[in-house]
Chain A
Amino acid sequence: MPTFFQGPENLLSQLRGYYPSKTSLVMPLLHLFNNKVGYISEDTIIQISRLTGLSPVFIKGVSTFYSFYNFQPLGKNLIQICRNSACMSMGADSLIEYLIKEYKFEPAVTSSIYGHGLFFYSSEPEALSLMITECLGACGIGPAMLLNDRLYGRLNRERIDNIINSIIRGEEPSIDPMDQIPVFPMEPESLLFKTIDCLDINSYKEKGGYRAFLKALEFKPEEIIEVIKKSGLRGRGGAGFPTGMKWAFARQAENLPRYLVINADEGEPGTYKDRVLLKRNPHLIIEGMLIGAYAIGASQGYIYLRYEYPEIIAILEKAIKETRSAGLLGRDISGTGFSFDIQVHRGAGAYICGEETALIESLEGKRGQPRIRPPFPVNRGLAGRPTVVNNVETIANIPVILNIGPEEYSKIGSKDAPGPKLFSVSGVKRPGVYELPMGVSLGEVLHMAGGVFSGNVKAIIPGGLSTPVLKPEALDCNLDFASLQRYGSMLGTGGIMFFNNNTCMVRLAMRAMSFYRHESCGKCTPCREGTGWLENILKRIEEGRATEEDIGLLDEIASNISGKTFCALGDAAACVIKGVLFNFRDEFLEHIRLARCPFEGKIDDKSNNK
């Protein structure tokens, strides 16, 4: 395979001017080579080094930070299958085991010590490689996988057989990929899904699209910020910071230019709402960005899109192009003197890049490790300039607020955090993205979703994997920031995972910990060293090789991580342990007493990242 080819120069000229520094070009270039050549070799790195003027070892450091750059040649077809909690609850473990056994996949033997992917080669390595990944953001249609960037959902043995047999014959799989995620708009009137599937600008406009933006242009930026403040909108990414306040801080910061960055690195396991918004309502995001950019005074925006959403790149780029052609994006929009453009920046598989400062580092083309705060991004973010980082769902609420007015908006749902909220629901009979007013109860959601997939509810993770697990007693809890806190958990991203009584909680914790270990950026000691230690102990418990003291040790290690790490990733790992020990300690004791897993679930050794 040729390592050197024409193309990078084209990409460079295409991207020129969109980024504040040349370093940002590293990831687009790596993606280009990763796609065209199939993997990143030292020659590739040297070529990128020449193109960007950066040192080769810096580029190597960047490339090996992310999961999806390959450092070895792979087969023509690549299966990337999810093993995370939601898919696991739908049987991903046994499916992966079946896949490996049935198709005689062997762990990749390679001289490359770089990268994080768990690779397996089939008996026909030329044809097919398998990579076991963390959450693909398709939890509602799990188990899920990507086959050559195409999403396949609701996998079972029959469907997998069908797909792989087609590939081996050299054909495109003919079966329905089942990649449509069900959406349940709010009753009686949807706000965020009103323009769903308006993929072209005209249909979006017909339903009232871009009216909010044009209206906004008639006001002063400060007035827009006031409107957002008044609406009470709080960020939907997990932390729930008041959006209007964030914008105001950025607006006040000098040191121009300012940037607006949309966090579409939806990595929190159990969460897939942003995927639906981006895929089926792209213009709403663009319109939200336009209003946001106008309000804070930004002229360049970025959508940091996670690697796992490949099909969305084309959708977004098409929408951006259309908007540009319509004169709503670019220089001097509608003759107002306001200029704004958007660049889609693709991540490469690193959960930590959902943390806003790590995301900015990654956008700057560096290893995605969080930065020291303060200074906060609103003061010194991308390239040291004032930068607002908003979640996809947050920015989608902006046109809604302007359309219905902040007063109306603030009446929706709970008072401390009003507005519609998207809940990604999985482990149930009717999984999908539910648009519900903030403050709806967990029980109501479960009822709407038709109850758990099978059996009875045993455990609920209410806001993505990083929020402490709850027992069924918590079904009364309302889904808003304050209520969940009272129940010892968090609203998080609104990724609700229900688990039935066949779920082994030790195993769930172990899988969670193997995720945090895999995704820990390695910057700070407690997270880097502690998550792996926790995983090891959990593994011993699950395999029946532990003593009661180990439970105490788990608790202590979690305490030693909690509150001492650089960013929230370590805290999340610790609080998963704390939650599961608090609510399901008996099950841990049971494992130790029996010296085996009472659920008879065998540990899937091959999928364990060692």
Chain B
Amino acid sequence: MIKVTINDRTVFLSEPVTVLEAAKRAGIKIPTLCFLEGLTPWGGCRLCLVEIERIPRLQTACTTMITDGMVVRTETDEVKRARQAVLEFLLINHPLECPVCDKAGECELQDAVLKYGPSTGRFREGKRKTPEITVDPLIVRNMKRCILCTRCVRTCEELQGADALSVINRGDRSVVEPFSGGRFDCEYCGNCLSACPVGSLISKLHLHKYRPWMVETEEGVCGFCGVGCRILIQRRGNSIIRFWSSLGTEGLDSVVKVRVEEPNNGLTCAAGRFGYDFLDHELRLRTPFIKIGEERYTLSIDEVIKRSADSLLEIKKKYGPTSIAGIAGGRLTNEDAYLFGKLIRGLGSNNLDSTARLGYIQIQQFFEELFGPGATANRAQGVLTSEAVIVAGGDPLELAPVFGSHIRQAFKKGSLVLTIGFIPGLRRHSRSIGESGDSSKALRRLTKAIMELKSKEYKEGIFKKIADFIEPLITSEEVDKEIKEIAETISKKELISLVLSGDILQKKGGIIDLFCLGLIAYLVDARVYLLQEFPNDQGLIDLGIGPDILPGGRDLSVEAWRSHVEEIWGFPIPSQKGKDLYSIIELIEKGEIKALYVAGLDPVTEIPGGGRIREALKKLELLIVQDSFFTETMNIAQIGIPVAVWPERDGSYTNFERRIQFFNASINAGSGSKMPPPDWEVFNAIGRNIGLNMPYRSIDELWLEICSVSGLHKALSLPLLKKGLLWPYLGEPLRHTIPVTEEWLKGLKGEALMGQSSFSKSKKIIVEKFPYLSATISRYSKALNLIGGAGVKLALDTAKALNMDRANEITVWDSYGDINLPLKIDDRVPEDIITIPKYFNNRSLYEITDFSRDITGVPLWSLNIKMG
């Protein structure tokens, strides 16, 4: 125990902390400016000077560690004089333009001067003048206000790992700058905006639009991707003023605090910071329509619901229940998903699937088979303490940006981050194998090296089967010195994390990569982080969206579980499992499925094979599309139903940690009849219209039923869930898993998949997904479209090899069309790699793609390039 006396208050602490922290625990506030929780102490501003007995000089509380018996005084005359002096020094160059500064009202300097500052100034010389720099599309930089606390620089470096800011020059000539001195051209996470205690870095999106005391702040959950960051949503009237994060709010009395555990530690990414203007995009669908011939007619929401119910019943009558299918996007909330599943099953069909089929569900089932249920439920924070992090398939900085920056933080703390293949976002924060060559090959070599080190441990159970399967594939691989050394280092570590996403399956031979990773995870005892690209893929699975699963993720073929659900729902559920996502598309092509209900997804632009899907969907007799925007899929629909979108509505998402997070409607989508309903209300109304028992008036009532139907959510209640529950919740943690590996192994045997991979002698194409997360909604953000810099990127040598070094444009093509993209020579891209943005000028790469299905139901797809 360490005993410290602060202002005659004695505290006992079990660990050495800073004087500042000790004072905080004793309930004593010491003013700070350059201190920011989570950053390494700086000690520059000198505002936190305190008196410590037996030390002649005043000491900074933020840098001094407590020692046993220390006596600290924070409010003596000398301390007060020092604070006044520091604030006077800061004010000699800080302009007193608070009336026109956006930060006034939530400015830490203003607060500090008010409480501790001198009342008059004695500075007679002219203040430092630097012009406001407004050339950046999103961030205004005002250096005359800067107090050089370097919180922005340290945040950028230590928390985001972007290293995009630095103090330039020295002494009183110092300024904070991005490299060009003008545009930031960075990752635009905007965390520097939260870090800035004064008005030096301000978002252009809300510049001069409000005063902090005019806005209402609400805690929210970001709905752009699967991380589920806690954010602060600030609005004025019915419009969103800004998205903010908890970073930097500790020192302010004026801002609402985030009260629950955050998966994001106060960070945001570009979308979560600047992307909120998607709500106002001109493609927002406000009124329902039906299409007759080539004409669209608008009608009321009640009419369209009636019409949808009637049409679905008509198809069912004409072709039977299995001619109906439903596809859900990972943007649907848990409540939506539950009712969507109930609706489609109420129509008598199990042809029900979601975006989780793009690899997420297969990988999860695989790991649950290996390690048991909940194998992928791990707290995001855990990566920070990992001694080694293996990242394979899919750039975390693109799929789950804030989690990606956590991996960078782990690297900075000395963790070994190993990337397999080209992971652009982690290039400066990792060691990489197979970066410019065949990443599958590198992975197999690594697997072999680790198997050799741990040879005795995999000869049992399921692992033996996998090992037996993999061994013949890797015997011919030569393990070089580097991989051997990496394997040795990794196997010596205790805490190891494996990070992967569905992307690794979306190529030929991807399943072999997955087997290798599974074996590695087992041999080194890694915890698994499975990234979901959409905000709620996990929730869709847990609420029973899938051809073979019921709410709670229970196996549909087990009669006991089925009858339990049937009893509550009051209608029979077909025992035959339905068709998965891409089988549904194939059956539509064959004419066997006649009606499709798509909710929360634009299959044409948001999932692989979009080009082929567009053609398939044209063959349908009935296509109902329910979305917030007039999408490409909506364009071919017979019925279009507008819905409210996060954050205009209540609901809950389950993030990639399997944390269930509720959010409230922060703004209203519209007024009166113009207000589109949330998805679940539409399903509810259609369900009632087709005669199902759907009596819910609120999500509270809905959850009462979910908690009784779903074994996973059993014994839960809404108030409990609203605290943000992590797996295994309080229900029954065990759930049946499907022996996928057995099935896959059988299917794989003798298949042509063996030894194949996506890497041919030509070049490897990598699709850049950032900053348009969760596809539809963020690509409608004008602000995110301003970030720019998108284009095909490749190294000069690669371009030369392709005879493209003089081209300005490149054509990306596949069976369903082509897209021209500007070509950018970028030597940071490894040789033989070509990166292509997923969205460009409102077009999606998926629009032109074909797909083939592998044994797990994952779409395999590819792209070709030629001179533009």
Collect the chain A residues with CB atoms within 8 Å of residue B43's CB: 372, 524, 566
Interface residues of B in 63-107 (CB under 8 A from A): 63, 65, 81-82, 85-86, 88-90, 92-93
Of B164-172, B433-441, B771-779, the one with at least 4 CB within 8 A of chain A: B164-172
- B174 contacts the other chain (Cβ, under 8 Å)? yes
| With known contacts A56-B179, A57-B177, A65-B170, A560–B46 Cβ distance under 8 A | no
**Is A57 a contact partner of B165 (Cβ separation < 8 A)?**
yes
**Is A526 a contact partner of B46 (Cβ separation < 8 A)?**
yes
- B45 contacts the other chain (Cβ, under 8 Å)? yes
Q: Report, as a range, how many residues of chain B touch the other chain.
A: 35 or more
- A350 contacts the other chain (Cβ, under 8 Å)? yes
Of A238-246, A494-502, A513-521, the one with at least 4 CB within 8 A of chain B: A513-521
Collect the chain B residues with CB atoms within 8 Å of residue A566's CB: 43-44, 46
- Write the nearest CB–CB distance from B121 to chain A, whole angstroms: 11
**Is A521 a contact partner of B86 (Cβ separation < 8 A)?**
no
- A55 contacts the other chain (Cβ, under 8 Å)? yes
Collect the chain B residues with CB atoms within 8 Å of residue A113's CB: 169, 181
Cross-interface CB contact of A524 among B45, B81, B169, cutoff 8 Å: B45
Collect the chain A residues with CB atoms within 8 Å of residue B90's CB: 525, 529
| With known contacts A525-B147, A533-B92, A533-B123, A520–B86 Cβ distance under 8 A | no
**How many interface residues does A have (CB within 8 Å)?**
46
| With known contacts A116-B170, A533-B92, A566-B43, A55–B163 Cβ distance under 8 A | yes
- Write the nearest CB–CB distance from B88 to chain A, whole angstroms: 7
Cross-interface CB contact of B57 among A54, A350, A522, A563, cutoff 8 Å: A563
- A76 contacts the other chain (Cβ, under 8 Å)? no
Whole-angstrom CA separation of A529 from B180 in the bound complex: 26
- A64 contacts the other chain (Cβ, under 8 Å)? yes
- A523 contacts the other chain (Cβ, under 8 Å)? yes
Give the interface centre of B65, B82, B168, B171 by most chain A CB atoms within 10 Å.
Answer: B171
Collect the chain A residues with CB atoms within 8 Å of residue B358's CB: none
Whole-angstrom CA separation of A367 from B428 in the bound complex: 20
- Write the nearest CB–CB distance from A527 to chain B, whole angstroms: 8
- Write the nearest CB–CB distance from B414 to chain A, whole angstroms: 10
**Is A525 a contact partner of B45 (Cβ separation < 8 A)?**
yes
Collect the chain B residues with CB atoms within 8 Å of residue A53's CB: 428
Collect the chain B residues with CB atoms within 8 Å of residue A536's CB: 125
Whole-angstrom CA separation of A239 from B169 in the bound complex: 28
- Write the nearest CB–CB distance from B540 to chain A, whole angstroms: 39
**Is A564 a contact partner of B170 (Cβ separation < 8 A)?**
no
- Write the nearest CB–CB distance from B739 to chain A, whole angstroms: 46
**Is B46 a contact partner of A529 (Cβ separation < 8 A)?**
no
Nearest to A516 among chain B residues (CB) is B171
| With known contacts A55-B163, A56-B179, A372-B41, A114–B169 Cβ distance under 8 A | yes
Whole-angstrom CA separation of A5 from B170 in the bound complex: 29
- Write the nearest CB–CB distance from A15 to chain B, whole angstroms: 21
Interface residues of A in 553-567 (CB under 8 A from B): 553, 560, 563-566
Interface string of A32-70 (1 = CB under 8 A from B): 000000000010010000100111111011001110000
Collect the chain B residues with CB atoms within 8 Å of residue A521's CB: 170-171
- B623 contacts the other chain (Cβ, under 8 Å)? no
**Is B164 a contact partner of A55 (Cβ separation < 8 A)?**
yes
**Is A560 a contact partner of B89 (Cβ separation < 8 A)?**
yes
**Is B166 a contact partner of A60 (Cβ separation < 8 A)?**
yes
| With known contacts A64-B168, A65-B169, A372–B179 Cβ distance under 8 A | no
**Is B170 a contact partner of A64 (Cβ separation < 8 A)?**
yes
- A532 contacts the other chain (Cβ, under 8 Å)? yes
Give the interface centre of A42, A60, A518 by most chain B CB atoms within 10 Å.
Answer: A60
Interface string of B95-132 (1 = CB under 8 A from A): 00000000000000000000000000011010000000
- Write the nearest CB–CB distance from A372 to chain B, whole angstroms: 5
- Write the nearest CB–CB distance from A597 to chain B, whole angstroms: 19
Interface string of A341-382 (1 = CB under 8 A from B): 000000000100000000000000001000010100000000
**Is B169 a contact partner of A64 (Cβ separation < 8 A)?**
yes
Collect the chain B residues with CB atoms within 8 Å of residue A58's CB: 163, 166
| With known contacts A372-B63, A566-B44, A525–B169 Cβ distance under 8 A | no
Interface string of A532-553 (1 = CB under 8 A from B): 1100110000000000000001
Whole-angstrom CA separation of A566 from B49 in the bound complex: 11
Interface string of A556-598 (1 = CB under 8 A from B): 0000100111100000000000000000000000000000000
- A297 contacts the other chain (Cβ, under 8 Å)? no
Whole-angstrom CA separation of A64 from B173 in the bound complex: 10
- Write the nearest CB–CB distance from B177 to chain A, whole angstroms: 7
Give the interface centre of B47, B92, B172 by most chain A CB atoms within 10 Å.
Answer: B172
**Is B172 a contact partner of A526 (Cβ separation < 8 A)?**
no
Whole-angstrom CA separation of A113 from B164 in the bound complex: 19
**Is A57 a contact partner of B122 (Cβ separation < 8 A)?**
no
Collect the chain A residues with CB atoms within 8 Å of residue B754's CB: none
- A258 contacts the other chain (Cβ, under 8 Å)? no
| With known contacts A350-B170, A521-B170, A526-B89, A533–B125 Cβ distance under 8 A | yes
- B178 contacts the other chain (Cβ, under 8 Å)? yes
Whole-angstrom CA separation of A367 from B165 in the bound complex: 14
- A528 contacts the other chain (Cβ, under 8 Å)? yes
Cross-interface CB contact of A522 among B89, B122, B170, B179, cutoff 8 Å: B170
- B827 contacts the other chain (Cβ, under 8 Å)? yes
**Is A367 a contact partner of B179 (Cβ separation < 8 A)?**
no
Cross-interface CB contact of A564 among B86, B147, B171, cutoff 8 Å: B86
- B58 contacts the other chain (Cβ, under 8 Å)? yes
- Write the nearest CB–CB distance from B349 to chain A, whole angstroms: 54
- Write the nearest CB–CB distance from B52 to chain A, whole angstroms: 13
Collect the chain A residues with CB atoms within 8 Å of residue B45's CB: 524-525
- A267 contacts the other chain (Cβ, under 8 Å)? no
Whole-angstrom CA separation of A521 from B44 in the bound complex: 11
Collect the chain A residues with CB atoms within 8 Å of residue B172's CB: 517, 520, 522, 528-529, 531-532
**Is B46 a contact partner of A564 (Cβ separation < 8 A)?**
yes
Give the interface centre of B41, B58, B90, B166 by most chain A CB atoms within 10 Å.
Answer: B166
- A492 contacts the other chain (Cβ, under 8 Å)? no
**Is A367 a contact partner of B171 (Cβ separation < 8 A)?**
no
- B148 contacts the other chain (Cβ, under 8 Å)? yes
- Write the nearest CB–CB distance from A45 to chain B, whole angstroms: 8
- Write the nearest CB–CB distance from A38 to chain B, whole angstroms: 20
Collect the chain A residues with CB atoms within 8 Å of residue B92's CB: 529, 533
Give the interface centre of A53, A56, A57, A61 by most chain B CB atoms within 10 Å.
Answer: A57
- Write the nearest CB–CB distance from A35 to chain B, whole angstroms: 21
- A140 contacts the other chain (Cβ, under 8 Å)? no
Collect the chain A residues with CB atoms within 8 Å of residue B42's CB: 523
Whole-angstrom CA separation of A328 from B102 in the bound complex: 65
| With known contacts A372-B43, A522-B148, A55–B171 Cβ distance under 8 A | no
- A270 contacts the other chain (Cβ, under 8 Å)? no
Collect the chain A residues with CB atoms within 8 Å of residue B169's CB: 64-65, 113-116, 522
**Is B164 a contact partner of A57 (Cβ separation < 8 A)?**
yes
Whole-angstrom CA separation of A385 from B676 in the bound complex: 63
**Is B86 a contact partner of A526 (Cβ separation < 8 A)?**
yes
- A530 contacts the other chain (Cβ, under 8 Å)? yes
Give the interface centre of B65, B163, B164, B428 by most chain A CB atoms within 10 Å.
Answer: B163
Nearest to B122 among chain A residues (CB) is A553
Collect the chain A residues with CB atoms within 8 Å of residue B148's CB: 522-523, 525, 528
Nearest to A571 among chain B residues (CB) is B57
| With known contacts A526-B85, A528-B148, A50–B122 Cβ distance under 8 A | no
22 A-B contact pairs sorted by A residue (CB < 8 Å): A42-B179, A57-B166, A58-B163, A114-B168, A116-B171, A367-B170, A374-B65, A520-B171, A522-B169, A523-B42, A524-B43, A524-B45, A526-B86, A528-B174, A529-B89, A531-B171, A533-B89, A533-B92, A560-B85, A560-B88, A563-B57, A564-B86
Give me the 6 closest cross-chain CB pairs, A-B, nearest first. A61-B166, A55-B163, A560-B85, A529-B89, A57-B179, A520-B171
**B interface residues with partner A (beta carbon < 8 Å):** 41-47, 49, 57-58, 63, 65, 81-82, 85-86, 88-90, 92-93, 122-123, 125, 147-148, 162-174, 177-181, 428, 827
| Extra pairs beyond A57-B163, A57-B177, A116-B171 (9, CB < 8 Å) | A60-B177, A64-B169, A372-B63, A525-B47, A525-B147, A525-B148, A526-B89, A528-B174, A529-B89
